[in-house]
Structure 1
Amino acid sequence: MNSLNKQNAINFYRTAYEGNPRKAIELYVGKDYIQHNPDVANGKQGFIDYFERMQVEYPDKSIKFVRAITEDNLVALHTHQIWPGNDQYVTMDFFRFDGDGKIVEHWDSIQQIPEKSANPNTMY
């Protein structure tokens, strides 16, 4: 189940991020959806509203999935996002799955990639 959850988390995030959050919710989310990101309203409709707005305001954004890690009913995604104007972010998203393999809870941490770093390593 872990590898299926991992692929479903990636598919869910990609589908929503690339402009179809309603389809992402229909395919990959369980009965309830608990949201911990303070910029996104709780529940399925809050998620749909946020990502539909992001698609209208920022249609040229892109995402690369750098790594995905599973443990029990949790999946962690480490991503590299590029927004208009080369505004880049590293994100960590955590998804909790129910017994049916559907996403029911989400947490994230987002950090902007600075222009200068004290070391030569990437943030991802």
Structure 2
Amino acid sequence: MRLIIRALVLGAALAGSGLASAEVPLSSATPSPQSPASPAAGNQWGGATSSRIPGSMAEGEANRRTVLDFYDAFFNKHDLSAADRYVAQDCKQHTPGLADGRRALQDAYAEIFQRHPESKAEVVRSVAQGDLVVLHVHRIPVPGDRGEAVVEIFRVADDRVVEHWSVSQPVPASSPDGMF
């Protein structure tokens, strides 16, 4: 629950600061210095190990592009080798049920993709600020399923995902479009 609240606070802060765009397909963000009200550097978002905010919008955009390229190759094309290109070997997972490390990610999703060969993940929104990239995703395990609404948060260093958080909930029948 705390992670959901943090993701919502991050999204609200970005939206309120003018740093985020909620339009599809791609958006860019302008990094800004850490605000005085933010947690101390080195533990910015309750467990994140980032203490660096890139000094240019281009760097934030490059991180966003890295995550989007990884996400499409891995979750839509089911290319497990995409993790070799885009995920650090010792990537820290904050998602319950996923172990740390690139190999653990590949092993877990090899099984999932085998059970759900037609699964897709539509990135509805993406936001980048510094080394953090946030995706709002509509994940559909099988065609015709309402799927899940997912918020994915990635920390990128040296063009690789080094840390990841994820929260999701099923798309309810009563309001499937209201979540996106």
> TM-score if structure 1 supplies the norm length?
0.88
CA root-mean-square deviation: 1.6
The alignment partner of 2:159 has SS state of coil
Tell me if the contact between 1:97 and 1:104 (Cα under 8 Å) persists in the aligned partners: yes
- Match of 1:64? 122
Q: Distance in 2 between matches of 1:94 and 1:12?
A: 13
State the identity %: 29
Aligned pairs for 1:26-105 (under 5 A) are 26-84=84-142, 85-98=144-157, 100-105=158-163
Tell me if the contact between 2:133 and 2:154 (Cα under 8 Å) persists in the aligned partners: yes
Tell me if the contact between 1:20 and 1:52 (Cα under 8 Å) persists in the aligned partners: no
Moved over 3 A (4+): none
Tell me if the contact between 2:84 and 2:102 (Cα under 8 Å) persists in the aligned partners: no
Paired letter, 2:151? M
Paired letter, 1:88? G
> TM-score if structure 2 supplies the norm length?
0.62
Number of aligned pairs? 120
Tell me if the contact between 2:98 and 2:104 (Cα under 8 Å) persists in the aligned partners: yes
Structure 2 portions without partners, runs of 5+: 1-58
Q: Distance in 1 between matches of 2:79 and 2:89?
A: 19
Structure with more strand by fraction: 1
Tell me if the contact between 2:90 and 2:100 (Cα under 8 Å) persists in the aligned partners: no
